[in-house]
């Protein structure tokens, strides 16, 4: 605990001197450039930088058109962010007043962020291949291929997942017209990625965001499917089943289904075309000739993506940012091309929907045609004690004469015109 009153006073002032407190780090005064003061200056700078970044982002008016209780969503979020960060600054100043050192991470934990989202790796003995995978994992789109082929590499999942979130957010901002904000976001991400890559190569150190609290794309897909069953059980079943149990069961079933599908496909002949080509839109049309191969699941995934690409081009044009968004599952599919039984979340469901829809229509046409053929070939039979009459009620005569047919005779009429 620090007892130097001047150092404590300087540390407190750092939280209220926005960015000016940086000058404390180069001061020759021992009471200003003091270890205790330096600790609080670094903490204050982190919080102040996050506050300024939040204000810049909200300055673009995101959610301004959404009105809640008389205020725009943009205004409400800005106020909440300001209250949060000013609260963090106040807490840091309070800890400085007590003579205690504190980091921004500890402040965020105290503020309710109990999970440590930053993971620091130091003195890691990574091979050159592992370093290359970790570096390329930061690259948008390319990182998804790298992760699909090297899922066992430590930290690679966190890196590519953060990459995925940034890419999706930037594309969504672009779709809604916030191109400048999307550019700023991508620029900040590039700076972060380059900095971490340099640290990894030169010092064997790296900082990653622990995003395991967020569900992966596959896990998110299972959670959404489980929600329907959970609501159904709540409304119509007497026995309560927890959501976590349903999710775990669904996820186990998903993996078991993939395993069984893989075992079935391994019995089939391998295609002569590299399987990653089945995920490249339009080129994957060649997969129509390999439906009987062991890559048939990838072919279905890829053709569905091509179908969606065509719809987007027809309705939104070739310059639509939706095509960039749809490129994400394309690159994930290329990375997962070695998983024979990989049913791509959402995409394979779309395939099943359209397959079932068109198969149902085809069955209706087949049944209709069969019914028409049955009616056409149906033969009129004369049973005992019955006389066949024509449409105007006259007795039908025998072709050999004018004598009416006898009750005991059975006549099958194939050509009505011969009786006229």
Same domain, 234 and 191: no
Same domain, 336 and 296: yes
Same domain, 287 and 306: yes
Same domain, 103 and 122: no
**pLDDT band for position 378 (cuts 50, 70, 90):** low
- Is residue 372 in a domain? no
- Is residue 157 in a domain? yes
Where among 189, 209, 229 does a domain terminate?
209
User: Per-residue pLDDT for 398 more than 60?
Assistant: no
What's the per-residue H, E or C state across the chain? CCCCHHHHHHHHHHCCCCCHHHHHHHCCCCCCCCHHHHHHHHHHHHHHHHHHHHHHHHCCCCCCCCEECCEEHHHHHHHHHHHHHHHHHHHHHHHHHCCCCCCHHHHHHHCCCCCCCEEEECCCCCCHHHHHHHHHCCCCCHHHHHHHHCCCCCCHHHHHHHHHHHHHHHHHHHHCCCHHHHHHHHHHHHHHHHHHHHHHHHHCCEEEECCCCCCCHHHHHHHHHHHHHHHHHHHHCCCCCCHHHHHHHHHHHHHHHHHHHHHHHCCCCCCCCCHHHHHCCCHHHHHHHHCCCCCHHHHHHHHHHHHHHHHHHHHHCCCCCHHHHHHHHHHHHHHCCCCCCCCCCCHHHHHHHHHHHHHHHHHHHHHHHHHHHHHHHCCEECCCCCCCECCCCCECECCCCCCECCCCCCCEECCHHHHC
Q: Which of 129, 106, 102, 126 is nearest to 116 (CA)?
A: 106
Same domain, 277 and 160: no
**pLDDT band for position 50 (cuts 50, 70, 90):** confident
User: By residue range, what is the domain housing residue 191?
Assistant: 118-209
Helical packing angle, 5-14 and 35-58, nearest 10°: 10
Same domain, 148 and 102: no
Q: What is the percent of the chain where pLDDT is above 70?
A: 84
Least confident of 134-138, 241-245, 291-295: 241-245
Where among 209, 243, 266 does a domain terminate?
209
Q: What pTM, to 2 d.p., does this model score?
A: 0.65
- Provide long-range contacts, Cβ within 8 A and 24+ apart, for 59-65: 60/178, 60/180, 60/181, 62/173, 62/178, 62/181
What sign does the dihedral 336-342-346-348 (CA atoms) show? Answer: positive
Same domain, 405 and 297: no
Per-residue confidence (pLDDT) for residue 409, from 0 to 100: 46
Exposure b/e, 144-169, CB count within 10 A at least 16 = b: bbbbbebeebebbbbbbbbbbebbee
Same domain, 267 and 284: yes
**pLDDT band for position 159 (cuts 50, 70, 90):** very high
Same domain, 244 and 337: yes
Least confident of 59-73, 150-164, 180-194, 353-367: 59-73
Q: How many domains does the chain have?
A: 4
Mean pLDDT of 163-167: 94
Per-residue confidence (pLDDT) for residue 65, from 0 to 100: 61
User: Per-residue pLDDT for 306 more than 80?
Assistant: yes
Mean pLDDT of 285-289: 92
Same domain, 318 and 222: yes
- Is residue 366 in a domain? no
């Amino acid at each position: 605990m620090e007892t130097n009153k001047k150092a404590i006073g300087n540390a407190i002032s750092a939280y209220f001197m926005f960015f000016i407190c940086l000058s404390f780090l180069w001061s020759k005064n021992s009471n200003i450039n003091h270890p205790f003061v330096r600790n609080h200056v670094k903490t204050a700078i982190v919080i102040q930088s996050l506050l300024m970044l939040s204000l810049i982002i909200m300055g673009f008016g995101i959610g301004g058109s959404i009105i809640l209780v008389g205020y725009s969503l943009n205004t409400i979020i800005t106020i909440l962010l300001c209250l949060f960060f000013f609260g963090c600054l106040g807490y840091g100043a309070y800890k400085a007043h007590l003579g205690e050192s504190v980091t921004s991470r500890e402040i965020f934990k105290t503020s309710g962020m109990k999970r440590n989202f930053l993971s620091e790796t130091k003195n890691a003995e990574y091979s050159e291949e592992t370093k290359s995978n970790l570096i390329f994992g930061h690259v948008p789109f390319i990182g998804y291929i790298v992760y699909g082929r090297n899922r066992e590499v430590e930290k690679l999942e966190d890196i590519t997942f953060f990459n995925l979130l940034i890419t999706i957010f930037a594309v969504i901002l672009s779709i809604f017209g916030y191109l400048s904000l999307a550019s700023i976001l991508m620029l900040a991400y590039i700076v972060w990625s380059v900095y971490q890559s340099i640290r990894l190569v030169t010092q064997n150190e790296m900082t990653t965001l622990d995003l395991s609290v967020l569900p992966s794309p596959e896990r998110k897909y299972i959670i959404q499917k489980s929600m329907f069953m959970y609501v159904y059980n709540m409304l119509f079943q007497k026995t309560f089943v927890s959501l976590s149990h349903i999710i775990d069961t669904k996820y186990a079933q998903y993996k078991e289904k993939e395993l069984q599908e893989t075992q079935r496909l391994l019995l089939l002949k391998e295609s002569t075309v590299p399987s990653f080509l089945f995920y490249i839109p339009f080129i994957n049309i060649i997969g129509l000739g390999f439906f009987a191969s062991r890559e048939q699941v990838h072919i279905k995934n890829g053709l569905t993506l091509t179908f969606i690409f065509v719809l987007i081009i027809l309705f939104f044009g070739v310059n639509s940012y939706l095509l960039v968004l749809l490129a994400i599952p394309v690159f994930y599919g290329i990375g997962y091309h070695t998983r024979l039984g990989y049913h791509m979340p959402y995409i394979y469901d779309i395939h099943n929907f359209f397959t079932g829809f068109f198969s149902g229509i085809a069955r209706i046409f087949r049944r209709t045609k069969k019914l028409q053929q049955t009616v056409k070939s149906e033969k009129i039979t004369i049973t005992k004690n019955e006389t066949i009459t024509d449409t105007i009620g006259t007795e039908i005569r025998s072709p050999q004469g004018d004598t009416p047919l006898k009750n005991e005779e059975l006549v099958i009429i194939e050509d009505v015109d011969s009786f006229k």
